[in-house]
Amino acid sequence: MGEFDGKVAVVTGGSLGIGRAVVERLGRDGASVVFCGVDDRSVREGEAALRDEGLSVTGAVADVTDAAAMRDLVELAVSRYGGLDTLVTSAGIQRYGTVEDTSEELWDEVLSVNLKGVFLASKAAVPALRARGGGTIVTISSVQAFTAQDGVAAYTASKAAINGLTRAMAMDHARDGIRVNVVCPGSVETPMLRWAADLFRGGASQQEQIAQWGRAHPLGRVARAEEVAEVVAFLAGPRSSFVTGAEHRVDGGLLARNPAALPEV
């Protein structure tokens, strides 16, 4: 018996990266999972690969910034699998710029995908979760909800707002038996991190740049997507039954380190 046997989950951004790892983790532990992405090829390839493993999954091409698409995604889970027990919001994009050089269009793009996407998916999911007598929502944020690099104004703002929205939903829907928590990863080996590495690697290779970022974490490496998915699964399931409105850092100790290091003796 798996921990999620008989449970139904929706995962946004589930065709790649952390979202894909979450779909695999929940599916392997018994959940039926509906996931979405914006790229048809990655959605279909992911669906086929997971079904070949014997997992109960359905992929859909859906834009998290479209309210109707999010309602349809939840309805797909309800109609195909009988209800909804868990929502994981993993869709997100990274863009770079200060407030001075970030265009209004880029700002809107980042906030629309990263923040509005969480709002619309949750808005669609809450009635279905309530109809099951409760459930869980796990949002994916970032350590950049707490701290910032140079030139990430829109991204950092979106991630901090996700944390605030998570707290608000946890308070609003505790009476419905819906627990809402947020996971805040550090650097994770995903297509988005590899894309960023290519932007900033200069004369280094992609993997050398990722390794450099990994050394900033006290554990000495970047995370694997499945390590983040383990924390998501804990928060989505019954083992975390008294946890709601909480921020969970999965960052290899990144934010625990004081950058003013003492000299070696």
Return the CATH number at 12: 3.40.50.720
Per residue in 138-164, is it b (16+ CB within 10 Å) or e — as a string?
bbbbbbbbbeeeeebbbbbbbbbbbbe
Q: Do the domain assignments include residue 136?
A: yes
259, part of any domain: no
18-27, 32-41, 99-108, 196-205 — which is least confidently predicted? 196-205
Q: Is residue 145 part of a domain?
A: yes
81 is catalytic: no
**Domain-embedded: residue 69:** yes
For residue 1, tell me if it sits in a domain: no
Question: Is 262 inside a domain boundary?
Answer: no
Mean pLDDT computed over 95-118: 97
Give the pLDDT confidence score for residue 265 in this predicted structure.
Answer: 67
Residue 261's pLDDT band (boundaries 50, 70, 90)?
Answer: confident
Structural domain count, the chain: 1
Which tens digits make up the pLDDT trace of 201-231?
Answer: 888 898 989 888 888 899 999 999 999 999 9
The residue among 208 and 56 whose pLDDT is bigger is 56
DSSP-derived secondary structure letter, 56: -
Question: Does 223 map to a domain?
Answer: yes
Residue range(s) defining the domain that contains residue 197: 8-253
pLDDT at 264: 76
pTM recorded for the entire structure: 0.94
Closest to 88 in 3D by CA, of 133, 31, 44, 23: 23
258 lies in a domain?
A: no
Given the residues 33, 70, 155, 252, the one annotated as active site: 155
